[in-house]
């Protein structure tokens, strides 16, 4: 059953797309695969040739693309590129801009204010998969901003993957995207530093992987164990009866010194040591290692100028 404001689920709704880099092309292919009438624009027109051959319409300008459909997806380099592309685009009620650029929460809030000033409904978004997984099952897309345009265009957003609306605050999608990427890079750097450390003793990464990734990581850093820690983080409850942060600080010191002795860069473990030391200085020496969360939470109030 549909509402008067929702797209017809039988006939895929028309969509416009600005930006045809690798991710933009993946978005275009997913939309065409599901039968959406698609209008595309790219600064270099030739990049649209493949999707035009599949049935997309090539707009002469970004403004023409926005005029062609009630929903416009933006997949450009950054927020400034979006502002430039949309400078001459038609404004007014009924037009929805979904921005899938990467940036910062302050930029997302600034963009939402800018869009509101032009009469657009605006969603900020983040694509959490590489291009080859767009349109596939489990391809997570994050969105933040007003709920109504998300609900109105949910069938179209589902053509791209699994859409998650995180809340009405415009910066939420960017915050989640950045947090998840930071977690990914921290895990990758942990593995790469560990492999470099054992390599300094003549051990191949292939041999080390059996121990590090076959036993240690699943036992100590499994998603289940991290998930179980979340309520304690929310409560600020870090009992140290099975090991204190002071004890962990000693282990981190050993990692730094061993790295230096073995001629391996110690920047990464030294940073971990310094953050743990900051948590101890906050009074968490007898708490467990999760009390480092309190050191990470030291922050200032986010600010950002409004775009005229």
**Residue 68 within any structural domain of the chain:** yes
CATH number of the domain enclosing 78: 3.40.50.720
**Residue 119 within any structural domain of the chain:** yes
In this structure, are 259 and 289 located in the same domain?
yes
CATH number of the domain enclosing 189: 1.10.1040.10
The confidence score (pLDDT) of residue 2 equals 39
From CA 125, how far away is CA 132, in angstroms rounded?
A: 18
From CA 157, how far away is CA 166, in angstroms rounded?
A: 14
Cβ neighbours of 217 (radius 10 Å): 16
Residue 230 CB contacts under 8 Å (≥ 6 apart), including other chains: none
In this structure, are 84 and 221 located in the same domain?
no
pLDDT exceeds cutoff 60 at 150: yes
> What's the whole-number mean pLDDT along residues 224-246?
92
> What's the whole-number mean pLDDT along residues 111-119?
95
Confidence of residue 208 (pLDDT cuts 50, 70, 90): very high
Decide which of 146, 169, 192 is a domain's last residue.
169
Q: What pTM was computed for the model?
A: 0.85
The confidence score (pLDDT) of residue 289 equals 94
In this structure, are 53 and 193 located in the same domain?
no
Decide which of 151, 169, 187 is a domain's last residue.
169
pLDDT exceeds cutoff 60 at 302: no
> What's the whole-number mean pLDDT along residues 37-60?
97
The confidence score (pLDDT) of residue 272 equals 95
In this structure, are 285 and 266 located in the same domain?
yes
In this structure, are 273 and 155 located in the same domain?
no
In this structure, are 63 and 84 located in the same domain?
yes
Domain that holds residue 286: 176-296
What's the token pair of residue 222? 């499994």
Q: What is the largest CA-CA distance in the chain?
A: 69
**What average pLDDT does the structure give for the chain?**
91
In this structure, are 241 and 116 located in the same domain?
no
Confidence of residue 106 (pLDDT cuts 50, 70, 90): very high
Number of domains making up the chain: 2
Confidence of residue 8 (pLDDT cuts 50, 70, 90): very low
In this structure, are 150 and 289 located in the same domain?
no
């Amino acid at each position: 059953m549909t509402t008067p404001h929702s797209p017809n689920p039988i006939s895929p709704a028309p969509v416009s797309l600005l930006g045809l880099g690798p991710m933009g092309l993946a978005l275009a292919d997913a939309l065409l695969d599901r039968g959406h009438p698609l209008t595309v624009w790219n600064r270099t027109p030739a990049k649209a040739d493949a999707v035009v051959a599949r049935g997309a319409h090539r707009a002469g300008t970004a403004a023409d693309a926005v005029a062609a459909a009630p929903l416009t997806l933006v997949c450009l380099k950054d927020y400034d590129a979006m502002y430039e592309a949309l400078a001459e685009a038609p404004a007014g009620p009924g037009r929805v801009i979904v921005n899938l650029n990467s940036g910062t929460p302050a930029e997302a809030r600034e963009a939402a204010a800018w869009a509101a000033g032009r009469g657009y409904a605006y969603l900020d978004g983040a694509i959490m998969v590489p291009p080859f997984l767009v349109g596939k099952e489990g391809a997570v897309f994050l969105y933040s901003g007003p709920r109504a345009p998300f609900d109105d265009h949910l069938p179209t957003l589902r053509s791209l993957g699994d859409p998650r609306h995180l809340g009405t605050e415009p910066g939420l999608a960017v915050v989640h995207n950045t947090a998840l990427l930071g977690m990914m890079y921290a895990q990758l750097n942990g593995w790469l530093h560990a492999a470099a450390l054992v390599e300094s003793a003549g051990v191949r990464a292939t041999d080390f992987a059996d121990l590090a990734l076959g036993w240690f990581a699943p036992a100590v850093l499994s998603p289940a164990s991290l998930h179980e820690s979340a309520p304690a983080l929310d409560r600020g409850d870090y009992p140290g009866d099975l090991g204190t942060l002071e004890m962990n600080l000693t282990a981190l010191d050993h990692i730094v010194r061993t790295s230096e002795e073995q001629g391996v860069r110690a920047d990464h473990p030294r940073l971990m040591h310094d953050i743990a030391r900051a948590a101890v200085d906050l009074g968490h020496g007898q708490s467990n290692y999760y009390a480092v969360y309190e050191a990470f939470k030291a922050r200032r109030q986010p600010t950002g100028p409004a775009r005229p």
